[in-house]
Amino acid sequence: GDTIFGRILRGEIPCEAVYSDGLCLAFRDVAPQAPVHVLVIPRQPIARLADAGDEDQALLGHLMLVAAKVARQEGLEDFRLVVNSGAAAGQTVFHLHVHVLGGRPLAWPPG
Ligand code: AMP
């Protein structure tokens, strides 16, 4: 089904984009959990990481590389990537996304 990220990709609702290419879009999280909090999403709507298949290997690798590129672009040396897959893991928007978090010390384990 459609999600708020689908609407962002179609330009129906605004976002603060920080990176864009033919495969993905990166934009600032509307409720940032760290000084830098960016979401990297594929243009292709995969609901959850658990739904990705072997055919998505290159796309998933691309999302990781873009996440690292965005972190560098944001001036981060150290950063964390998070992918919540499924509601019990904290996923609220069912369009795959990689959280890029940084700009403060990040505790482990996460909540
Ligand atoms: P998750 O809980 O992993 O599904 O993450 C969804 C993220 O999307 C949350 O961090 C939200 O703050 C963020 N979010 C929801 N709506 C928007 C929006 N319109 N623009 C930017 N970020 C959003």
- Each of the 111 residues of the chain gets a pLDDT tens digit; together they read 699 999 999 999 999 999 999 999 999 999 999 999 999 999 999 999 999 999 999 999 999 999 999 999 999 999 999 999 999 999 999 999 999 999 999 999 998
Note if the pTM is more than 0.85.
yes
Residue 11 alpha carbon to ligand 1 centre in Å: 16
**Does the Cβ of 29 fall within 6 Å of ligand 1?**
yes
Is the distance from CB of 80 to CB of 106 less than 8 angstroms?
yes
Distance 4 CA to ligand 1 centre (A): 9
Beta carbons of 36 and 27 less than 8 angstroms apart: no
Which pLDDT belongs to residue 10?
97
The pLDDT of residue 111 is 80
3-state secondary structure of 84: coil
Nearest CA to ligand 1 atom 1: 91
Residues belonging to the active site: 97
90 CB less than 6 Å from ligand 1? yes
